[in-house]
Amino acid sequence: MILTVTLNTALDVTYSVDALVPHRSHRVGEVVERPGGKGLNVARVLGTLGHDTVVTGFVGGPTGAVLRDLLAPLPPRDALVPVAGNTRRTLAITDRTTGDTTQLNEPGPQVGAAEWAAFLRTYGELVAEADAVALCGSLPPGIHVGAYAELIRTARAAGVPVLLDTSGEPLRRGIAARPDLVKPNAEELARLTGFREPLRAARDARRRGAHAVIASLGPEGLLAETPEGGWRAAPPAPVRGNPTGAGDSAVAGLLSALAEGLDWPGRLARAVALSTATVLAPAAGEFDAAAYAELLPRVTVEPYAATS
Amino acid sequence: MILTVTLNTALDVTYSVDALVPHRSHRVGEVVERPGGKGLNVARVLGTLGHDTVVTGFVGGPTGAVLRDLLAPLPPRDALVPVAGNTRRTLAITDRTTGDTTQLNEPGPQVGAAEWAAFLRTYGELVAEADAVALCGSLPPGIHVGAYAELIRTARAAGVPVLLDTSGEPLRRGIAARPDLVKPNAEELARLTGFREPLRAARDARRRGAHAVIASLGPEGLLAETPEGGWRAAPPAPVRGNPTGAGDSAVAGLLSALAEGLDWPGRLARAVALSTATVLAPAAGEFDAAAYAELLPRVTVEPYAATS
């Protein structure tokens, strides 16, 4: 079983409008709602790939109830922990004319100490059954900034590989707890290390504690710095489309391949093929299964000298 | 009892952001939710004025459940009729820096024939107990454009005064059913009649069937064309503030004064004082009770020659 953790789950709401103009009134043509938050997106991709997947994190209030109803028919199993507050909504306003999107993210519910303690109990039980764990996204209000470090230590103590995909201070604190993998994008990596050059930044992130650093370089693919060596993985050609969810698909690719015992080139090829197939899919956050199958053997994975 | 009808109720959601910039990502600072839709706003003001008030219309889905929870502690009694679809949200995005607001309105749930029939039964029972009825706002999808005309005929057959506050084709069709009052703004009146000059347009609207036409002229107050004469009512001085809900407060003023047996000048003075006190209130759609008491004796109501 693969466990994904989304402490700040979200109901992703998409509004389509003709064109968003500040300080005007708009009729919303269509309203689409789906379960969101990075860990839930990762779990959905894992479920589509056929992996037994469990999602945990916090859920609460009327928005949380809608999220759970939408999650129920999907493959990932719901082990979300209730909170008194209301799960946040993330609103994407899409201009019908240009396809451009404006994003508004609610902060999420305040999580209390008793709720965090209840989550830790659930998490501990789930980790004991997991083949791999992904810790994904932002922290809701009330959760201490070292929360991911705490969750990483639990997973490592249980001997379960753990991937961290977050940013800012939670990433900095999390890395110090020595996660097996981190998957920052170039921007997050630069903010963490102060180095804009991805290879130099990835090496610095390893020195800070991450066993392996998989940096996503957008359309150019992935850069991997690992104990077994360094690689660059790239799609056969750059593609155009909606990059929403491409990073979450890369996490699902890395994690599923890790759980299946694939080596680094196999993991990276799957991650690049899945994230490219996500950019190509018409619906944000879904992946195009035919494109994935077609891309997988054509991803280039090139080694370069390992650093440790 | 005063009955207000809101066929397309809404959960009014307000997001505060630093500044809305299209195609960017925004953190929402604060999320405020309150029951909305014109008839619910009118009822809330009537409740604050101490009038026994009942709200009906449609409510459904998870958003409808939130709306009902927020409505429960307020004075108006909830006689909303359930629908299978989800009640709409109306989103106001407020820029913290300028106070400017961007509005996004969901369309509302599809209402089926059986649901409309259930509403008509409830409405018929409520009208029989009502001293006055207000029919407010837009029609949800699935409701025929002559719906307000039907509701007006029911109220008039029961001998209950009925006010219509809507726009576009539902206003045009509704007026033909001879409501006691309509309260369009200058823009709606111009669209209805083709005349931009408010007095000429109000007279034309009366010829189309409305017994009395109360046109709201924004900060300049109200213009009334009635069987008893014509008046202009204005606040002692123009005020600055948030005009959201000012029109709904005017409706509440007209309706409560009508139910109390006040004459036209008394009704108009109350409507102008309430709507001006709404513009002055810090929270959108609320009214400043002290400002209302202070303004009421200072509203000027000047007659001019009646037209019929």
Classify domain A2-7+37-87+108-304 at the CATH class level. Answer: alpha beta
Residue B118 sits at the chain A interface (C-beta within 8 Å): no
Give the CB-side neighbour count of residue B78, counting CA atoms within 13 A. 16
Find chain A residues with C-beta within 8 A of B31's C-beta. 106-107
pLDDT for position A12: 94
A78 has catalytic annotation: no
CA distance B300 to A56: 63
pLDDT for position B308: 47
Answer yes or no: are the C-beta atoms of B4 and B36 closer than 8 Å: no
What is the percentage of chain A residues whose pLDDT exceeds 90? 92
Nearest chain B alpha carbon to A94: B23
Catalytic residue among A78, A248, A263, A288: A248
Answer yes or no: are the C-beta atoms of B160 and B131 closer than 8 Å: yes
Residue B129 sits at the chain A interface (C-beta within 8 Å): no
Nearest chain A alpha carbon to B109: A31
Find chain B residues with C-beta within 8 A of A22's C-beta. 20-22, 95, 100, 102
Per residue of chain B (308 residues), give pLDDT as tens. Answer: 999 999 999 999 999 999 999 999 999 998 999 999 999 999 999 999 999 999 999 999 999 999 999 999 999 999 999 999 999 999 999 999 888 899 999 999 999 999 999 999 999 999 999 999 999 999 999 999 999 999 999 999 999 999 999 999 999 999 999 999 999 999 999 999 999 999 999 999 999 999 999 999 999 999 999 999 999 999 999 898 888 889 999 999 999 999 999 999 999 999 999 999 999 987 777 899 999 999 999 999 999 865 54
Residue B105 sits at the chain A interface (C-beta within 8 Å): yes
pLDDT for position B285: 76
Question: How many residues in total does chain B contain?
Answer: 308
Find chain B residues with C-beta within 8 A of A95's C-beta. 22
What is the percentage of chain A residues whose pLDDT exceeds 70? 99
- Mutation site for B-interface testing, chosen from A11, A18, A23 by largest number of B Cβ within 10 Å: A23
CA distance A105 to chain B (A): 5
Which helix (H) or strand (E) is A61 found in, with range?
helix A61-71
Residue A107 sits at the chain B interface (C-beta within 8 Å): yes
pLDDT for position B241: 85
pLDDT for position A198: 94
Residue ranges per structural domain of chain A: 2-7+37-87+108-304
pLDDT for position B305: 65
Given a cut of 80, whether residue A305 has pLDDT beyond it is: no
Homologous superfamily of B2-7+37-88+108-304: Ribokinase (3.40.1190.20)
Answer yes or no: are the C-beta atoms of B258 and B132 closer than 8 Å: yes
Residue B65 sits at the chain A interface (C-beta within 8 Å): yes
Answer whether B15 sits within 8 Å of A95, measured CB to CB: no
Residue A125 sits at the chain B interface (C-beta within 8 Å): no
pLDDT for position A5: 98
CA distance B79 to B91: 25
CA distance B183 to chain A (A): 21
Given a cut of 60, whether residue A306 has pLDDT beyond it is: no
Residues 6+ away with beta carbon under 8 Å from A295: A235, A236, A272, A273, A276, A277
pLDDT for position A132: 97
Catalytic residue among B78, B248, B263, B288: B248
**Mean model confidence pLDDT for chain A:** 95
If one compares B130 and A286, the residue with the highest pLDDT of the two is B130
Measured from the Cβ of residue A38, the count of other Cβ atoms closer than 10 Å reads: 24
Answer yes or no: are the C-beta atoms of A211 and A200 closer than 8 Å: no
Tens digit of each residue's pLDDT (9 = 90 or more) over A54-66: 999 999 999 999 9
Answer whether A26 sits within 8 Å of B102, measured CB to CB: yes
Find chain A residues with C-beta within 8 A of B87's C-beta. none
Given a cut of 50, whether residue A205 has pLDDT beyond it is: yes
Find chain A residues with C-beta within 8 A of B15's C-beta. 104, 106
